[in-house]
Structure formats: C-alpha cells, structure tokens
C-alpha cells in the first residue's frame, strides 16, 4: 500500500503482523492508547529516520493502527524563519547602529555649531549668530537657534545701548562739570558775583541729578521693574488729566493744547509710568514743537488694544534721524539749543516696551506725531 506525501501509516493485526502501511516496524514500547506523540520513525520508501507527530489507536479484534505526519517540512520552515528572523534582527541592529552614528554625528555637529557661536560671543564677538536654514523643514535645533539668536541680538542691543549711555554721560557730564569748576574758580578768586555763581552751580547740579535719575529710571523700566503695578485704567482719563495739568504752561508758551479723548479707553497698564511717558512726550512737544501753535494729545481704542499720541506742528524730525532721537542721550542738533539730556523719548520707548507695546515717530505734515501702541489684555 502506497501512502502519499508526508504521511505515515501502519496497520497491525491481533498477532502484530503488518497488514498495510509504509512504516518498517511498530516502534518498540509504543502503546496503542490514542494519545498524540512526537517520535522518530523510518519509512520504507525513505532512507533515514524522520520526526513524526503520530497517534496509535486500538481497533476491534485486537488490530492496531498508527497514523502520523512528518514534521520535517515544519522544522525546515521553522529553521528558515528562524534564520530569516536572525538575519533581520542582525540587519536591524546594523541599521540601528548606523543610523545612531549618523544621528549622533548630526546632533553633535548642530550642538557644536551652537557651542562655537556661544564661545565666540563669550570671547567678545557679539555679531556671531547661529546659522539657520532659509526655508524648509525646521527642527528643534532651529527653534533653539532662533531663540539664541534673538537673545544674542538683545544682548548686542543692550551693550550698544550701554556704550551709547557711557558716551552720552561722558559728553553730557563734561560740559556742566566744566562750567561748575569755572564758577568755583571765579568764586575762589573773589568778587561780588558769589551769590549768582552759587545759584548757577545749584542749577547745574539739579540738571545733573535729573539726568542721572532719568537714566536710572530707564534702566529700572528696562529691567521690568513695575510690572506688579499694572491695573485696569482708563487711558482717555489719563490723557485728559495730563492735558489739564499742562494747559497753563502751554498758554504761557502761546500754544493751544488740546485733548482728543472723549471716549473711555480701558487698558491694563501702570498708570504712573504711562503718565511719565505722556508727560515726557508733552514736554518735548512744548519744547521743540511750540512754534506750530497747536499740540494735540489723543487716546483711542484700536483693533489690537489701545493707542495714545502727541502731535505738534513744529519742525519735526527727519525720518533718517528717528533712530538717533530714540537712543539714550541721542539729542538732535536742532534740539540742543533748547537743552535737555536726550532721555525723554528713550524713557517713553522703554515704558512702551514694558507694556508689550511700541513707540513710533511719524510725520504730522508738518510737525511730529509720537504714538505709543499698547496691546489688549488677551
């Protein structure tokens, strides 16, 4: 009897003689108990032993039947899968190590680039910046580079401002100190002008103290001091109060000072600091723009928050000189005859930045319009 494929079968009679099948002999000590077993057998038509999953069962009249299926194909498939899996794991490990090396080198290069910039800045080159892609996909290192560049730009700006302050102080302190020394020398030589000289020295000292106090106030504002004083307030009411306070001085100078703030403009701000900024702007307008005869102080709500402005009809400031006008001690030549330390606009701009806003110098055609935009509460 021919048994196909991977099957094995052996039928024995009651005396143990083979009736049919392709197995050479009944395995020794194999009971016919109908239980599955795994056993090595030799088929008549195949050389060598093979592993079978088989079952041996008793039949009527003492016959026994053994039926099994070769596991060689299954084991071969298992070995193939195992080999393939090991190969895949090995390849994955190689790829993982390769990718890790590439990523490590890439990350190390990006970190080193940032470290190089930081080292150059620490060595004194404040112009260095982290190189960033012009466009395309951006990653966390690009975001870090953006933040670092913004910080470095701010540091460079502050140091430039510090140099400007130092130069300005050196320039603006030299003249009054020289005048004070000359007056003291005249007093030491004697004469009948002592009272006049002492009064003049007192005025010079007061001007120096005011300049230093304003410079310190700008530094405090730029350091963020005052944020805890933010409250809900009406910007229009502040404008009306300041105009009312300055009206007598404006009348003495032949200037019509007008408030354009009829509607309440609620903002979340530091009232005293905004009052200081507005006071500086009105002072500047009265000092440099009084020749126009009219100064308008306005407050209004905007789509992004609120805005107040001071506009005059005087000579104004050339657009090319706006940067100098906003810099500390950045007095313009046209302004020098009228005195002042060149700190008023700088302080107003610093107060605007403290509130998250911005100060702008615009042409009033003719004259100058200074606006401060404040953000909304959202």
CATH code of 150-222, in short, is 1.10.287
**For 223-333, where are the alpha helices, taking DSSP H only?**
235-252, 271-288, 322-326
* Helices vs strands, H then E, count in the chain: 7, 12
CB atoms within 10 A of CB 188: 8
CA-closest candidate to residue 309, choices 317, 297, 300: 297
Return the structure tokens found at 152.
Answer: 């470095």
Question: Cα(347)–Cα(350) distance, rounded to whole angstroms?
Answer: 5
228-375 carries CATH number 3.30.565.10? yes
The residue extents of the domains of the chain are 7-70, 150-222, 228-375
What are the mean pLDDT values of the chain's consecutive 10-residue runs (378 residues total)? 68 84 83 84 80 86 87 84 92 92 89 88 83 78 86 81 66 70 72 66 70 68 73 94 93 92 92 91 88 90 92 86 71 49 79 90 90 83
The predicted pLDDT at position 338 comes to: 47
Q: What is the dihedral of CA 24, 27, 31, 37, to 10 degrees?
A: -100
The predicted pLDDT at position 340 comes to: 53
The predicted pLDDT at position 194 comes to: 64
């Amino acid at each position: 009897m021919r048994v196909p494929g991977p099957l094995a079968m052996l039928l024995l009679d009651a005396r143990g003689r083979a009736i049919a099948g392709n197995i050479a002999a009944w395995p020794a000590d194999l009971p016919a108990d109908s239980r599955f077993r795994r056993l090595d057998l030799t088929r008549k038509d195949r050389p060598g032993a093979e592993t079978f999953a088989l079952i041996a069962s008793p039949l009527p009249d003492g016959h026994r039947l053994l039926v099994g299926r070769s596991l060689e194909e299954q084991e071969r498939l298992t070995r193939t899968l195992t080999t393939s899996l090991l190969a895949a794991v090995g390849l994955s490990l190689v790829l993982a190590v390769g990718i890790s090396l590439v990523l490590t080198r890439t990350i190390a290069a990006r970190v080193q680039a940032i470290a190089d910039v930081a080292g150059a800045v620490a060595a004194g080159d404040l112009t260095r910046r982290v190189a960033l892609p012009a466009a395309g996909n951006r990653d966390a290192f690009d975001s870090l580079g953006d933040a670092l560049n913004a910080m470095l730009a701010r540091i460079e700006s502050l140091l430039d401002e510090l140099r400007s302050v130092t130069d300005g102080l050196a320039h603006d302190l030299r003249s009054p100190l020289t005048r004070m020394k000359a007056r003291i020398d005249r007093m030491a030589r004697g004469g009948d002008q002592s009272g006049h000289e002492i009064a003049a020295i007192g005025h010079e000292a007061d001007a120096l103290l005011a300049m230093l106090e304003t410079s310190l106030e700008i530094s405090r504002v730029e350091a963020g001091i005052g944020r805890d004083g933010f409250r809900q307030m009406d910007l229009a009411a502040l404008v009306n109060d300041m105009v009312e306070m300055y009206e007598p001085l404006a009348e003495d100078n032949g200037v019509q000072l007008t408030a354009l703030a009829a509607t309440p403009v609620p903002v979340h701000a530091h009232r005293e600091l905004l009052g200081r900024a507005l006071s500086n702007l009105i002072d500047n307008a009265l000092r440099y723009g009084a020749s126009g005869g009219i100064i308008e102080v306005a407050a209004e709500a905007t789509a992004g928050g609120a805005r107040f402005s001071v506009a005059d009809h005087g000579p104004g400031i050339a657009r090319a000189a706006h940067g100098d006008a906003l810099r500390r001690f950045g007095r313009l030549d046209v302004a020098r005859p009228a005195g002042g330390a060149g700190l008023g606009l700088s302080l107003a701009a610093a107060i605007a930045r403290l509130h998250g806003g911005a100060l702008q110098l615009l042409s009033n055609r003719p004259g100058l319009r200074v606006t401060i935009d404040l953000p909304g509460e959202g």
